[in-house]
Amino acid sequence: MRHSRPSVPSGRVHNIINMTTFAVLGVGAIWASRQGMISVTQVQASHFALAYLAGTFLLSPDLDLSEGRVNSKRNWGILGPLWVPYGMMFSHRGLSHSWLLGPLTRLVYLAILGAIVIGVLRTVWPEMALPAFPEPLEWKVLLPATLGYFLSQWLHLIADGIRPDHGLRRTRRRN
């Protein structure tokens, strides 16, 4: 007997799941902070929210399908085609859909694109002042942003039925 693969949510459904979770977390955080259970600054909430929204709408795991019509690629507007090489590097639901390395591949790819842009700008306009990251980047900034980004990615993977040991199971079967 052959088992059919369960259908996975569309990009629109992924966005609804993520935004519903975002709203529930926001209401929960406001309630918990008013009860004195947690303390969240506006800066921490902003970093979490921005990273979560970027992970949901711009850096979705489905960018590994960016040769086609993918919501995340479309959300980049005229810069969307920059993600086509990423889609060519990763097979759908392969490494790009793993729980730790998948989200990191998109950040590394984005950093490489940024480095290329900075390199071109430095070559064409060497005297141009470029914005710098504030130093030092503190855990109070990095932790909420990291949690927001990874949570948005993990919700996508959970909705796709991908478990945290996704890549490991295949490796164990081959041995």
Segments forming the whole domain that contains residue 25: 11-174
| Residue 124, C-beta contacts closer than 8 angstroms, at least 6 positions apart | none
Residue 4 placed within a domain: no
pTM of the shown model: 0.86
Question: Does a structural domain hold residue 120?
Answer: yes
| Confidence band for 77, pLDDT divided at 50, 70 and 90 | very high
Most confident range, picked from 19-28, 66-75, 140-149: 19-28
Q: What is the 3-state secondary structure (H, E, C) of the chain?
A: CCCCCCCCCCHHHHHHHHHHHHHHHHHHHHHHHHCCCCCCCHHHHHHHHHHHHHHHHCCCHHHHHCCCCCHHHHHCHHHHHHHHHHHHHCCCCCHHHCCCHHHHHHHHHHHHHHHHHHHHHHHHCCCCCCCCCCCCCCHHHHHHHHHHHHHHHHHHHHHCCCCCCHHHHHHHHHC
Looking at the domain assignment, is residue 2 inside a domain?
A: no
Residue 149 within any structural domain of the chain: yes
Please indicate, yes or no, if residue 6 is contained in any of the structural domains: no
In a domain, 82, yes or no: yes
- pLDDT band (50, 70, 90) for residue 66: confident
Residue 136: per-residue pLDDT: 75
pLDDT band with cut points at 50, 70 and 90 for residue 166:
low
CA separation for the pair 161, 44 (Å, rounded): 30
Question: Please, what is the average pLDDT of the chain?
Answer: 88
Per-residue pLDDT tens for 12-34? 889 999 999 999 999 999 999 99
5 located within any domain: no
pLDDT score of 82 more than 70: yes
**Structural domains counted in the chain:** 1
